[in-house]
Amino acid sequence: MTVEPGEAWLAEPVRRYLGAPFDLDRFAAFAATEPVLARLAASLNGFRPPLVPDPFESLVTSITAQQISLRAAFSIRNRFIAAYGGSVGDAYAFPAREAVAQARPEDLVALGFSRRKAEYVVGLARAEVDLDALALRPDDEVKGALVALPGIGEWTAEWFLARHLGRPDAWPAGDLGLRKAVLHFYGEEDTRAAGARFPGHANLAAHYLLLGLRVG
């Protein structure tokens, strides 16, 4: 596929990759009322978490990251993309769901996937669920539909809400990094309960806490 600058259909995916759907002005106004976020919002002014435009890509990305280091997950995904994604020069598109549906789990194992994750990804590609239609459903229904699929637990479903749909109240309480950030900034071990501090802004709060911990 050849892509030319200025094609109209690219506008929305690019906006999402740049995190444009997030309302930073409203978040800044809320953050000003919360001492920890007030400091983070000031030091990280303008930070917009990127959103993954494609639901299949978002879920596969999370599945590959389950219980391994980000470095290992990146390496496995890069081999997966090179094997099944279309390329233009040195650039590769993320593999289409239809292409992955034709793969066998053992093909993905050869790329570094665990057997179980390979089965999850191929199963997701072949599943009958309409992933695009999830955008029209409320948070609890999205989570319910996703966790009913093999290999998708609450952690993956919450990150789907946060990093694909950009839902304001998405709060991936089971994420190890977020648990560390909440403990560091608030001294609290109950990460899920801590999310109640940020009504209507939990998604951005989570990302600012994560980045704030990373950059000190």
State what percent of residues in the chain have pLDDT above 70: 97
Average pLDDT over residues 158-169: 97
Closest CA to 21 of 170, 210, 191: 170
Close Cβ partners of 6 (under 8 Å, ≥ 6 residues apart): none
Q: Which fold has domain 23-50+170-215?
A: Endonuclease Iii, domain 2 (1.10.1670)
Looking at every residue in the chain, the average pLDDT score rounds to: 94
Buried b (16+ CB within 10 A) or exposed e, 143-157: bebbeebebbeebbb
At residue 3, the pLDDT reads 58
pTM for the whole thing?
A: 0.91
Domain locations along the chain: 23-50+170-215, 55-163
Topology match between the domains 23-50+170-215 and 55-163: no
What are the pLDDT digits (tens) for 57-85? 999 999 999 988 989 999 999 999 999 99
Q: By the 8 A CB rule, do 110 and 82 touch?
A: no
Q: Does domain 55-163 have CATH number 1.10.3720.10?
A: no
R_g of the chain, CA atoms, integer Å: 18
Residue 92 has pLDDT above 60, yes or no: yes
At residue 2, the pLDDT reads 65
CA angle at 29 for the pair 24 and 34, rounded to the nearest 5° = 115
At residue 88, the pLDDT reads 78
Q: φ, ψ for residue 199 (rounded to 5)?
A: -60, 125
